[in-house]
Amino acid sequence: MICICNIMAKTGFLPTLMFLLLFSTFRVILSAKSPNITPDQSALLALKSHITHDPHNLLATNWSTSTSVCNWIGVTCGSRHHRVTALDLSSMDLTGTIPSQLGNLSFLVSVNISQNSFHGSLPTELIDLHRLKYLNFGNNNFSGEIPSWFGYFPTLQSLYLYDNNFTGVIPSTFGNLSKLETLSMYNNNLKGHLPSEIFDHLSKLQKLNLGGNQISGRIPNNLFNCKELKFLSLYNNLLEGSIPTEIGNLSKLQILYLDHNNLKGSVPSSIFNISSLQQISLVDNNLVAYLSSNMFDYLPRLSYLDLSGCQLSGRIPISLFKCKNLNALYLDYNYLEGTVPLEISNLTSLQYFSIRGNNFSGKIPSVIGNLIFLETLDLSKNNLTGKIPSVIGNSVFLVYLDLSENNLTGHIPSSICNLNSLKHLSLSDNSLDGEISKCIGNMTSLSHLNLDKNNFRGKIPEIFGKGCTLHSFRINHNQVEGSLPRSLGNCKGLKFLDVGNNCLNDIFPDWLGNLDQLQVVILRSNRFFGQVNTSEITASFTRLHVIDISHNNFSGYLPMNFFKNLHAIKEGYEKKDQPEYMLDVLANADWNYAIGLSFTIKGLETEFEKILAIWSIIDFSDNQFTGEIPKTIGELHSLIVLNLSHNCLTGSIPSSLGDLSELEALDLSSNRLHGRIPTELNKLGFLEVLNLSHNHLKGPIPQGKQFDTFTNDSYIGNLDLCGLPLSRGCDNDAETPTKLDRDDDDDEINWKFSILMGYGCGLVLGLSMAYIIFTTGKPWWFIRIFERARQRLTKR
């Protein structure tokens, strides 16, 4: 020691050493004064050591043994025993597990570790926390079965386990929790029935939230013994049977969410007698609600009502308009009729009003303009006629306006451009006409604009200014002409563009390649012309996964550069490193932007109800493309539909198409393709639709696997094909390669022959109707393709 001291003194480290000495002495004294590390301290240190990530460094220095645990962040001690009574580590972004030692905090009354990333299962030792009144483990990543020993906390008042991954059934021991006021376990993986007997003992229960699980069976009558219930939420489960009339016994009920279950039968009218009710949601069941004129007389506090899909018929009862506090009214998908009642203007607090999918007729009442707090107005899928009232421009807080699928006429009132908060504007499927007003460019929040299926004409004006916020722009099925406005290039977030079925006359908009969010481009059935050339833009179209430029006048070779840059289709969803991205698209209801989109598959224009973010479709059919099919198309691995039919393509079918392992529909019909059908196509294990008809193909049709499912229709108009399903067998000659020399001659003969038969390239043939199996409803292969896509998505 002296030796070291000397060295240190010589080298000038003496002050440091003095400090070290002092410090260690101090520590000895300190630990001598409080000889045992308290059980509380060691329990909390155990917890600290189980925390693997503490991004804000909240515990690292603060939870130090040099101060009493009672000074530690998140820790509260009782004044008498200086024992830990409360632990609040909520919202600290901590990751870790719960150690068994936590059970040693035997004075703990309240523990809140919500909104972190704690994971793993809960140690049984927590059972020793017999003083607990408040336990909040919500919004973490806990797993394992809900421990039955939770039932052994005799004084527990609040139990929050929501937003985790707990499994199993609700333990019957919960019936011991006679002091329980709040039980919140929504968004887990709970299964089994509601254990009816527990509710006989939970006489203090005020709040029960079990939404977002897989709970099945009936709603037990015992539940209605919990007379103190104010909040009852069982949404998004698998509950069945009817809603018991006894629910009316819950005379203190304020919130009732039973939506998204399999409940059936009639909605008991006793519900509408619970005068304390503020929020009712019954949507997405198989319920029937019968309306009576005075049924809302006893609900003065009602603020939220969702009776969508409850088979309501007749008119909206007038008593509803006495519910002055009504803030949200959803009556979608019922059979309501009559005009939109003028009394709607009495609901001065209304922010959300939606009557989509009913039989309302007449005009949109101009009193709508009095509802100045309106944020959502959805009158779509009714039979409303007349003009869009210009008072709509008064509702300056509108965010969502959907008037689609009615019978509205006239121009878009320019007052609509005052709606500066509007994000979603859908006017599709009406009889609106006139030119697109320039003022639409002044709507600085607009994200989805859908003008499909109207009679808009004239040019689409150059209205998309710098900072354009559009994510989707649709004007399919109108009569707009001229060129595609170049100012769309300002909409940097554009994901979805559909200008199909108009009279646009322009070259290929390669400048869209600068919009790197773009996923869907539909130019079908216009007068676009010229070559599809994208060589000048290098990073173009990398996210594009649906491109339909069919029924135009494009010509020249198929664009190799363009295909090369389709990274979204090349790499596909299965290998995608950001699967969340697509789930986000779905979760944000952003995917709704694609409702009603149609494509030609198997000669039939099919309207898709939904298009998933993962669909990959290339449709270049009905143009005048020439030359060969590039081999590199085989690199577009996640392609589901490839349609190059009705062009002037020559050469043979590249064997690389056999690498399109996800392909479900392949249409190369009505071209001048020659040579054999490559046997590699047999690798296409999901192929449901194959059309190679009206080409100059020859030789044996591949046999086995998917090929056994195709009929003659897939091959007709190819005079030299042989083998099943054709009646013409393959003789030895047809299979000998030496005959291949004669391809050219054969082609010429066949080509002439097909002209004679009227199957020339580039012709839009009514004959393709011959392949249509189904003219109404959804064809079977569409359903299979769609279902498969959905399964893949949910598997992830």
Which residues contact ligand NAG by CB under 6 A?
39, 42, 62, 64, 67, 71, 73, 90-91, 100-101, 103-104, 112, 114-115, 117, 119, 125, 134, 136, 141, 143, 151-152, 165, 167, 172-173, 175-176, 189, 245-246, 248-249, 269-270, 273, 318, 321-322, 343, 346, 359, 361, 383, 385, 407, 417, 438-439, 442
CB of 358 to ligand NAG, least distance (A): 10
Shorter beta-carbon distance to ligand NAG: residue 383 or 703: 383
Shorter beta-carbon distance to ligand NAG: residue 323 or 666: 323
Shorter beta-carbon distance to ligand NAG: residue 442 or 682: 442
Q: What is the largest CA-CA distance in the chain?
A: 113
- Residues with Cβ within 8 Å of 654's Cβ and at least 6 positions away in sequence, in order, are 628, 629, 630, 631, 633, 634, 678
Shorter beta-carbon distance to ligand NAG: residue 103 or 482: 103
CB of 415 to ligand NAG, least distance (A): 10
Shorter beta-carbon distance to ligand NAG: residue 91 or 455: 91
Of the CA atoms within 13 Å of residue 384, those in its CB half-sphere come to 31
Lookup result for tokens 């300056």: 396
CB of 142 to ligand NAG, least distance (A): 9
Give residue 784's Cα distance to chain centre.
Answer: 20
Q: Which two tokens stand for residue 796?
A: 């992830």
Query: What is the β-pairing status of strands 383-387 and 359-362?
Result: parallel
Q: Tell me how far apart the terminal alpha carbons of the chain are, to the nearest angstrom.
A: 64
CA angle 123, 162, 157 (to 5 degrees): 75
Shorter beta-carbon distance to ligand NAG: residue 39 or 217: 39
CB of 152 to ligand NAG, least distance (A): 5
Residue 646 and residue 648: Cα distance in Å, rounded? 7
Residue 263 and residue 284: Cα distance in Å, rounded? 9
CB of 635 to ligand NAG, least distance (A): 31
CB of 610 to ligand NAG, least distance (A): 24
CB of 395 to ligand NAG, least distance (A): 18
The identity of residue 459, as a single letter, is: K
Going by C-alpha positions, the residue among 312, 349, 356 that lies closest to residue 330 is 356
Shorter beta-carbon distance to ligand NAG: residue 101 or 621: 101
- Partnered with residue 75 across adjacent β-strands are 87
Q: Do 289 and 266 touch, CB atoms closer than 8 A?
A: yes
Shorter beta-carbon distance to ligand NAG: residue 208 or 687: 208
Going by C-alpha positions, the residue among 309, 201, 197, 209 that lies closest to residue 257 is 209
Q: Which helix (H) or strand (E) holds 366?
A: none
Which 3-state string (H, E, C) describes 727-795?
CCCCCHHHHCHHHHHHHHHHHHHHHHHHHHCCCCCCCCCHHHHHHCCCCCCCCHHHHHHHHHHHHHHHH
Lookup result for tokens 């597990």: 97
- Partnered with residue 432 across adjacent β-strands are 410
CB of 62 to ligand NAG, least distance (A): 4
Shorter beta-carbon distance to ligand NAG: residue 273 or 517: 273
CB of 628 to ligand NAG, least distance (A): 46
Residue 653 and residue 639: Cα distance in Å, rounded? 17
Shorter beta-carbon distance to ligand NAG: residue 425 or 601: 425
Shorter beta-carbon distance to ligand NAG: residue 114 or 478: 114
Residue 409 and residue 142: Cα distance in Å, rounded? 56
Which 3-state string (H, E, C) describes 90-119?
CCCCCEECCCHHHHHCCCCCEEECCCCEEE
If you compute the radius of gyration of the chain from its CA atoms, what whole number of angstroms results?
34
Q: Which helix (H) or strand (E) holds 152?
A: none
Shorter beta-carbon distance to ligand NAG: residue 150 or 593: 150
CB of 124 to ligand NAG, least distance (A): 9
3-class secondary-structure state, position 526? coil
How many CB atoms are located within 10 Å of the residue 309 CB? 20
Measure Cα distances from 566 to 19, 498, 549, 638, 661 in Å.
67, 18, 15, 11, 16
The identity of residue 521, as a single letter, is: V
3-class secondary-structure state, position 337? strand
Q: Do 405 and 427 touch, CB atoms closer than 8 A?
A: no
Shorter beta-carbon distance to ligand NAG: residue 286 or 345: 345
Shorter beta-carbon distance to ligand NAG: residue 247 or 594: 247
CB of 450 to ligand NAG, least distance (A): 19
CB of 575 to ligand NAG, least distance (A): 18
Shorter beta-carbon distance to ligand NAG: residue 513 or 596: 596
CB of 630 to ligand NAG, least distance (A): 40
Shorter beta-carbon distance to ligand NAG: residue 67 or 349: 67
CB of 301 to ligand NAG, least distance (A): 15
Q: Do 632 and 558 touch, CB atoms closer than 8 A?
A: no
Query: What is the β-pairing status of strands 674-675 and 624-628?
Result: unpaired
CB of 603 to ligand NAG, least distance (A): 28
Going by C-alpha positions, the residue among 36, 52, 129, 127 that lies closest to residue 87 is 129
Residue 128 and residue 458: Cα distance in Å, rounded? 77
Residue 411 and residue 388: Cα distance in Å, rounded? 8
CB of 252 to ligand NAG, least distance (A): 12
Q: Do 389 and 411 touch, CB atoms closer than 8 A?
A: no
CB of 281 to ligand NAG, least distance (A): 20
Shorter beta-carbon distance to ligand NAG: residue 42 or 266: 42
CB of 73 to ligand NAG, least distance (A): 4
Instruction: Give the sign of the dihedral formed by CA 105, CA 110, CA 115, CA 121.
Output: positive
Going by C-alpha positions, the residue among 776, 623, 653 that lies closest to residue 714 is 653
Shorter beta-carbon distance to ligand NAG: residue 227 or 575: 227
Per-position DSSP letters for 339-357, written without gaps between them? SPPGGGGG-TT--EEE--S
